[in-house]
Amino acid sequence: MTEKQRIREIIKGDTSAFGYFVETYQDMAVSIAFRVCKNKAEAEDIAQNSFVKAFRNLHTFKKRSKFSTWFYRIVYNTAISEVRKSVHKTEFVDYKHTHLKDEYSEFDTSEIIQEKEIKVMIDKALSKISRSEAVVLTLFYLEENSIKEVAEIMGLTPSNVKVKLHRGRKNLAKVIKKENIL
């Protein structure tokens, strides 16, 4: 069943079909939100709120773009709104960083462990560049969206996305080199 067919089914009343979208897009939704708010618990809340907004507004989805593009725009805008609201809060609590050794089981191969370590290092480096550059890099390289789709998600022009990609790559390389991350 295609995503467009699933959307039609949901609009007709089969709310259980929305589970497919949650399962498919939840990891990237949390990742995008985290790049903006830099707080894991808040990112999970933002992702959950974004799914609720998407579900309630599914009837407004025009189907000119992919569902993921439309949904990630909701996530990004929700995250930006939450960050703006949190500026007025007096206390900031960062999430607890887990130690790498706690994330592995005895069944993990060295290749999987190395992949997890690299992901942690890349996340660390991405957290040290601007939010918008981190989101652009995440959407373009990890989610493999096109420049046009990233522009639509973030409300930018394709030229702005290209500039942010260029600057983001340069800044990420500087951080990696300076911090000796990889």
Give the integer Cα–Cα distance in Å for 132 and 77.
12
SS (H, E, C) 115-129: HHHHHHHHHHHHCCC
pLDDT at residue 1, as a whole number: 84
What is the CATH number assigned to the segment(s) 98-182? Answer: 1.10.10.10
Q: Please name the residue ranges forming H helices in 38-109.
A: 40-56, 67-86
Q: Which residues contact 5 (CB under 8 A, 6 or more apart)?
A: none
The DSSP call for residue 169 is H
pLDDT at residue 151, as a whole number: 94
What are the start and end residues of each CATH 1.10.1740.10 domain in the chain?
Answer: 1-96
pLDDT at residue 117, as a whole number: 80
| CATH class of segment(s) 1-96 | mainly alpha
Residue 43 contacts residue 37 (beta carbons within 8 Å)? yes
Mean pLDDT (the chain, rounded): 85
What are the start and end residues of each CATH 1.10.10.10 domain in the chain?
Answer: 98-182
The secondary element (H helix, E strand) that includes residue 31 is helix 19-37
Which amino acid is present at 172?
L
pLDDT at residue 91, as a whole number: 43
Burial class of residue 129 in the structure, from the number of CB atoms within 10 Å of its CB (0-12 exposed, 13-18 middle, 19+ buried)? buried
Give the integer Cα–Cα distance in Å for 68 and 114.
29
* Positions in the chain whose pLDDT score sits under 50: 90-102, 104
- Closest to 152 (Cα-Cα) out of 68, 55, 50: 68
pLDDT tens digits for range 98-135: 444 445 455 556 677 777 787 888 888 888 999 999 99
